[in-house]
Amino acid sequence: MVINKKIVGENIEAHISEFDLEETLDCGQCFRWKKLSDDLDTTKKVFEGIIYDRCLKIIQIKGLFIFEKIDELFFDTKIVEYFDLKTNYKIFNEMFKKDKTINKALNYAKGIRIVKQDSWEVICSFIISQNNNISRIKGIIENLCKSYGKKISEENYTFPSPEVLEKVSLEKLMEIKAGFRCKYILDACKMVVSGELLIDKIDIMDIDEARKSLMCVKGIGPKVADCILLFGFYRLEAFPIDVWIKRALDYFYPNGFPDEYLKFGGVAQQYIFHYIRTCPDAIPAEYKKNRKK
């Protein structure tokens, strides 16, 4: 939760518990943030990104966060919402500590929060994410925004709306270097603009109905649909299963993921995903070797 918030010149400073910029912004849930700080300086982290069509720079020095050049209203309404700062993540700490795997993953990166992003941006971004790595996803999205978004600073652009992208030809869109994913982006645009995909209703739908609705878009399968539900609609019960999570389920949960955590399975999934993807010792090397045989 946010504590001791204060205005300092054009900036807002706040102490926030259970939050880390790098762990949250580099764990595969969002793609429009750039790290500006030096990896060698572990005491200070600096990130710049776009939220609500606005360029934002954030500095973290341990538990102190400096949000540069913003007003209090934008902080209280937009930033608090985006970084899910109203949620006390200590509740998840208590909930998951009974499970050895989730607890270990949580303690590995306790500062992860589920970011509440624009739903259209997430739909488009996770269509682009298919069979792709994070670095390339970021590059394609940057190309997309530069080509069809509105310029808001020297190097930053807004995320283009479905109404704008719908008018772009497939041949022209291919220039962003998204390959086969371009036709899926255009299909999503047409469905949103026509009202066939009601993105303003998905957050209140039954989770299975919401998933089926998204999967009507060409190129959106179960995994991408669950990513969109979790990161674009804050459906914490969504549980995306990619190659990393499948590996974790095979090793840690051969009898299935515990039912008692499914209500907040998306939060647990994100801790586990980041842990198994970035920690070399998460799964013993011997197990990995045997699986390849």
- Give start-end residues of each CATH 3.30.310.260 domain in the chain: 2-86
Q: Report d(CA 86, CA 202) in Å as an integer.
A: 22
Instruction: Provide the 3-class DSSP secondary structure of residue 51.
Output: strand
CATH number of 119-232: 1.10.340.30
Query: What is the spatial distance between Cα 291 and Cα 120, in angstroms, rounded to a whole number?
Result: 38
Helices 119-128, 222-233: axis angle to 10 degrees equals: 150
Chain CA centroid to CA 114, Å: 7
Note the pLDDT tens digit of each residue in 141-167.
Answer: 999 999 999 999 888 999 999 999 999
Q: What is the mean pLDDT of each run of 10 residues along the chain (293 residues)?
A: 84 95 95 89 90 95 95 94 95 94 96 97 97 94 97 93 97 97 98 96 95 96 97 97 95 95 97 95 77 57
SS3 85: coil
Which tens digit of pLDDT belongs to each residue from 23-50? 999 999 999 999 998 877 778 999 999 9
Nearest to 102 by CA among 266, 222, 241, 224: 266
Strand positions, DSSP E, the chain: 2-8, 11-16, 33-35, 45-51, 54-61, 64-67
How far apart CA 60 and CA 104 sit, in angstroms, is 24
The 3-state DSSP class for residue 26 equals coil
d(CA 198, CA 168): 21
Backbone angles phi, psi at 36, to 5 degrees: -105, -15
205 CB neighbour count, 10 Å cutoff: 17
Tokens of 284: 């013993």
Domain boundaries for CATH 1.10.340.30 within the chain = 119-232
As a whole number of angstroms, the distance between CA 97 and CA 268 comes to 11
CATH of 2-86, one of 3.30.310.260, 3.40.50.10860, 3.40.50.620, 3.50.50.60: 3.30.310.260
Tell me which residue of 270, 247, 231 sits closest to 111, measured CA to CA: 270
pLDDT, one tens digit per residue, over 102-125 is: 999 999 999 999 999 999 999 999
